[in-house]
Amino acid sequence: MKVTAPHVGGSAFTLIEMVLAIGVMAIVIVVVHAVFFSALRLRDRTTDAVDQGQPAQQATTFLRRDLLCAMAPGGVLSGAFKVGSISEPDMRQPAAIELHTATAALHETEPWAEIQKVTYALDKPTMPTASGGQDLVRRVTRNLLNTVTPDVSGQWLMGDVQSLQFECYDGTQWVNTWDTTAGNTNLPLAVRVRIELAGASSQAGRPAIELVAPIVSQSVTNGV
């Protein structure tokens, strides 16, 4: 008896088709790899840009808020408004501006007024850099009625700063100095702030930071 094997029909991939399929898969993998790592590099650059810009944004936010809430001179809690090189015993380096502003937050453990004394100054950097920049520091005095040495708290805002300049607008021109205890008995109409970044930062395409804040608080008297 003769037994024959059943015939199995169908087609199979040829060698050329296999090589072409492997080549297409390799190209797709290369393209996906390039897109993926491009996205990672873009994410890293974006993160670095955000990290670099966050201190500057924080500094301008504090500056604008303090200037907009500046208190006119006079009264028990509201003191002088000074712009220029200001030296005080509790400062290691002269401040660029001193003002009293209603930006204090009230807490149960700190029952002071909502008015606080604020100064902005450049201080020696906590971590020196090759550019030689300084730290922008905001110093706050909360208890303005304290009869002993006041407790001043310092707040780091940003580093790598070359210079900090304030200019006051008196209605006709911008001036570099202002002192409500000597001549200028009222607040300026606006304050312009310019923060120059240190060498390496400014050359890398980071322009100077500029801010103009109007002063809405003014003293009103019965005099003509």
Express each pLDDT in 25-56 by its tens digit: 888 888 888 888 888 787 777 766 655 667 78
- Give the span between the Cα atoms of 165 and 83, in whole angstroms: 9
Out of 4-18, 143-157, 179-193, pick the least confident: 4-18
pLDDT classification of 191: cutoffs 50, 70, 90: very high
Report if residue 164 sits inside a domain: yes
Model pLDDT, residue 169: 92
Report if residue 223 sits inside a domain: no
The DSSP annotation for 42-53 comes to: HHHHHHHHHHHH
Report if residue 25 sits inside a domain: no
Report if residue 41 sits inside a domain: no
pLDDT classification of 88: cutoffs 50, 70, 90: low
- In terms of residue numbers, what domain contains 113? 54-214
Report if residue 28 sits inside a domain: no
Report if residue 37 sits inside a domain: no
Stronger pLDDT, 2 or 140, i.e. the higher one? 140
**Cα dihedral sign, 8-12-14-19:** negative
Phi then psi for residue 153, to 5 deg, are -105, 135
Report if residue 116 sits inside a domain: yes
Domain count for the chain: 1
Report if residue 132 sits inside a domain: yes
Model pLDDT, residue 45: 75
Residue 89's beta-bridge partner residues?
none
